[in-house]
Chains A and B, each alone.
Chain A
Amino acid sequence: MSEHSQLGAYALGALDADEAREVEAHLADCAECRAELVELEELKEFLGEVPPEAFLDGPPEGGDLLLQRTVREVREAAAAPSAVATPVAPVAKKRGRWLLVAAAVVVVAGALGGGVLIGRQTVEQADGPVPGSVQVSATDAASGATMATTVEPRENWTWIRVRITGLKPGAECEMYVTDKAGKVWTAGSWVVTEQAAREGSRFGGGVLISPDQVKSVEIKTVQGAHVVTTTI
């Protein structure tokens, strides 16, 4: 019976080596426990459907901006006529107008054909950087890394693409953008794969500043070591 009650911890792999051996010796002789173990291991599989993060509680650290953005989106969506949470039927005249607008949207979408807008965007990107882009490159003498940086204008924000050679595989990198006022923006982080270490590591990140405000782009490791900087 004592082996019996150890089976759960054994199935979850939580017993120490001596205890596990005891349980295994017992299992060799006990068909009932072997059958039970099969069921317990099946339950372990079920537990695997839930990620370990499911057992963290409370709000995230440093997530105030995230909450503000989310609340703003909900407010805007609630105010928009198409929002889910607009139960009140508009008066007949108004509804007629909305239907007309909706119909017009459908016609335009139909005329263009699905995917045309996405397609055009892809073509622009495939042909090279968007108009108005700025490209610079630099090599860092200390780290030996060379970075080609493209600053692409977007509507009220900026997309920054980098291609870096001379990085070590497995390096965890972060991209920082400094604007002309001296403020530093984080534009994402990534891990350098084996292939990227050989052929050049590409990364892209967006910052919420206009392209003419971008002063420099710096790559650091997650551990804080400087890798390379390009000045725009």
Chain B
Amino acid sequence: MATTATEYFPGWAPAVTGIVPSVGDYQGADAGETFVRSLYAEHGRSLLAYATRLTGDRAAAEDVVQETLVRAWKHAADLNKGAGSVRGWLLTVARNIVTDRARARAARPAEVADVVDRPPVEGDHSDAVVNTMVVLGALDQVSPEHREVLVELYYRGRSVAEAAQELGVPPGTVKSRTYYALRALRAVMAGSEAEVAR
């Protein structure tokens, strides 16, 4: 019923560079099922929580997650673990689906009038189509110690004292790790573009 992202943007799928796995790995009903189950087991909670925040509605969010996973299966060749972030890809696709559905509704005034109370789609990540993947991919490449201080301080909004308690290290260590984590992230992100200049 709803127009899909691919109909709007035929070339929308973020390209993932790297080794392209054999599509044959995921061929057939059983392999497809296994693939989708493994994505669900690893990323389902993240995806559903994100889609629920964007849609403000658990049922709608489940539909979005379902479509995201089916699309991941169809694009299995693009989802190459190790190059770019699989989760970044899934989150980006989920957001695109939410945006497309909102747009499809806007194109049909009768249905928009039906549901005026729908929470608006967040606009904060609207230009981030590739960047979500790039940044998550970069966070995958910094050390676990660096990654965890950034997650605690930035994404979970914790103070240095709270993060120190959570991670079981002195506050001074949290501070210096944060500084070096940001520098490491900068090095990873600059890596592909600026490596030549060094």
Contact = CB atoms under 8 A, between A and B. Distances in A.
A77 B46 contact: no
A177 interface: no
Nearest to A192: B117
Given A12-B153, A57-B45, A87-B24, A190 B118 contact: yes
B46 A54 contact: yes
Contacts of A54: 46, 50, 87-88, 91, 132, 136, 155
Interface residues of B, number: 80
Interface stretch (A41-49, A103-111, A209-217): A41-49
A204 B114 CA distance: 7
Contacts, number: 220
A60 interface: yes
B179 A5 contact: yes
A65 to B, nearest CB: 8
A78 interface: yes
B42 A57 contact: yes
Contacts of B102: none
Contact of B150 (A47, A70, A78, A202): A47
Contact of A51 (B125, B139, B185): B125
Contacts of A39: 186
B44 interface: yes
Contacts of A193: 116-117
Contact of A202 (B24, B117, B178): B117
Interface string A4-47: 11111101101110010000000000000000000110011011
B45 A60 contact: yes
Contact of B185 (A43, A56, A73, A191): A43
B115 A204 contact: yes
B49 interface: yes
Contact of B151 (A55, A75, A187): A55
B59 interface: yes
Interface string A117-156: 0100010011000000000000000000000000000000
27 contacts: A6-B175, A8-B178, A15-B175, A19-B160, A49-B132, A50-B88, A50-B91, A50-B135, A51-B53, A52-B156, A53-B91, A54-B50, A58-B45, A60-B65, A66-B44, A70-B36, A73-B66, A74-B29, A74-B32, A74-B36, A77-B70, A77-B73, A87-B27, A122-B108, A191-B119, A196-B117, A203-B115
